[in-house]
Structure 1
Amino acid sequence: MSDTTLATPEEQTAGTAILDIDQLTIKFGGVVALDNVSFDIKPGEILGLIGPNGAGKTTAFNVITGVYQATSGTITFDGTVLRKKKRYQITKLGIARTFQNIRLFPSMTALDNVLVGADAHSKVGILNAIFRTPYFRRTERESKERAHELLKFVGVAGRADEFSTNLSYGDQRRLEIARALATRPKLICLDEPAAGFNPAEKQKLMQLIRDIRDAGNTVLLVEHDMKLVMGVCDRVVVLEFGKKIAEGTPAEIQADPAVIAAYLGVEEEDVDDAS
């Protein structure tokens, strides 16, 4: 796996947060989607971001990756403040993401979909491409080699030449992860990657997430499957109605009365009485 390393040790500073979110607020008219939310992620960590529907999880992803601009608060990634950064600039800094709804190029092969991600850091100019210079040919060969390695890494190596629209649902999910990894991120944000998976596929996904971390990356995970979250995450942050209500290890989160109340729809006092 040395050729598919996702981030070198020099790119991450041990003990320092790679992503720091400080009092993040975003409003849509009179609706407060995120309300003074703060948390951080350490290099090499798998952090789960969970909460009931409408809690603000995907909104947080969209602010981090530049889809939305925050109303107030600060996002700092690897020492750089992200405010007013364009999406392509954030990608170049080292943040990649997947989506709740698969967003592949259906008329392109699996290999070409991954190559689109690899292009994020391409330094090949238009003249190199037109005249197919030695530099262009070498870069193209290296990109294809890495794309094949990433397809193997996520488990769809045998489908490289198939159109993405012809892949199974699970393979499309894995292909989207491969495309995100092709951008060589330091942080990958996975938005409900287990949606539609059966139990066996979820087990494989858990191992893939661990493999991504073990290859040198940091993972921010939004997921509704609590067994998966609690089984793979180092820490968990819980949102409810745009506010952070809890943060801690999986064991701490599972025992937190506020989290139980948020998911069960009961008052915290009732949870305490029942326990």
Structure 2
Amino acid sequence: MSEPHIETPEELDRANERPVDEPAPSGSAPESRPTPEAAGDVLLEMDDVTLRFGGVVALDGVSFALRKGEIFGLIGPNGAGKTTCFNAMTGVYRPTSGAIRFQGQSIVGKKKHEITRSGIGRTFQNVRLFPEMTALENVMVGADAHFKTSVLGALFRLPRFWREEREGREKSLELLRFVGIEHRAGEVSRNLSYGEQRRLEIARALATNPTLLCLDEPAAGFNPAEKEDLLNLIRKIRDTGVTVLLIEHDMRLVMGVTDRIVVLEFGKKIAEGTPAEVRENPAVIAAYLGVPTDAA
């Protein structure tokens, strides 16, 4: 099997500037989680976060909070700062100022793998798979995030290595079944259809055992039936106890699946509320139509 190309953070950041695609559900659920004891408890907080690149302000004093067990939408026109917000949460960028707290603990300055281990998983606008690895192997890469085998243990194939390898394989097959592509487990990922690749990426993110799953443009390029399947899959994920943060341009999907929504424009938060409240907000209408607020 040829060595997969692992992209640099710079390549990854550039790739995040355009969208991708996603899946349909089926099969049994991933590792079961208890229902949040206090539904509505704050899981993640963005507190007055500003991010500058030279003279460009990508995020400008953004604040909002995600509650445990909800599906939360982050929307806005192109260039509004949505993916930048994801990147700040997941350690790709460090905020210029402000605080980001996950389960009450600051995650500003933590490395990406530390944030993943703390319980935040994500997908990307562009499919980020290892093309020469099988679907099963790709998901097992995600499961590796919590393995405790040392380098020497892996080198000498000690008992813990074999136990974790077996558990990782079983968990990965379960997740492939959950997203509906278990029958493609042995196929190299570059041979999968676009929608299957998006399902595979979600399965790999779930393999990191997240408390919060961030989905970046999962429905781009999908037809109406595929979007309906995606909507059902997002609900299934939430039903396992995973909180979902969703960036999406398809307003019908967003309004149909989210509990609350934050709207960004030019790096600033311009609205927050339920789907019904956001739909009727003049500032949101103006941002999407490109007209002055009073005209909207």
Q: Same fold (TM over 0.5)?
A: yes
Contact 2:154 2:161 in 1 (8 A): yes
Native 8 Å contact 1:55 1:241 kept in 2: yes
Aligned length in residues: 270
2:99 is the alignment partner of 1:99: no
The correspondence of residues 137-216 of structure 1 with structure 2, limited to 5 A, is: 137-216=162-241
The gaps in structure 2 that reach 5 residues or longer are: 1-26
CA distance in 1, matches of 2:258, 2:163: 39
Using the TM superposition, give the Cα deviation of residue 36 of structure 1 relative to its aligned residue in structure 2, in angstroms.
Answer: 0.4
Sequence identity (%): 65
1:88 aligns with 2:90: no
Higher helix share: 1
Q: Distance in 2 between matches of 1:205 and 1:47?
A: 15
Q: Does 1:78 align with 2:103?
A: yes
SS of the residue corresponding to residue 19 of structure 1 reads strand
6 and 187 in structure 1: CA distance in 2 versus 1, 3 angstrom threshold: farther
Q: Does 1:135 align with 2:160?
A: yes
Q: Which residue of structure 1 lines up, in the alignment, with residue 55 of structure 2?
A: 30
Say whether residues 1:51 and 2:76 are aligned partners.
yes
Structure 1 residues 101-121: Cα deviation after superposition (integer angstroms, max 9, x where no partner): 100000100000000000000
1:124 and 2:153 aligned: no
* Cα distance in 2 between the residues matched to 1:76 and 1:210: 25
Deviation at 1:138, TM superposition (A): 2.0
Residue type at the aligned position of 2:136: L
Deviation string 1:157-213 (CA, Å, 9 cap, x unpaired) is: 100000000000000000000000000000010000011111111100000000000
Q: Which runs of 5+ in 1 are unaligned?
A: none
The 8 Å contact of residues 28 and 177 in structure 2, kept in 1 or not, is answered as: no
Q: Structure 1 counterpart of 2:31, which letter?
A: T
2-side partners of 1:29 and 1:20: how far apart?
25
Query: Contact 2:29–2:178 at 8 Å: present in 1 too?
Result: no
Q: Counterpart of 2:86 in structure 1: which amino acid?
A: F
> Deviation above 6 Å: which 4+ runs of structure 1?
none
| Counterpart selection for 1:238 from 263, 266, 271 | 263
Determine which of 195, 218, 222 is the counterpart of 2:247: 222
Amino acid at match of 2:30: T
Match of 1:110 in 2: 135
Q: Per-residue deviation at 1:135? A: 2.6
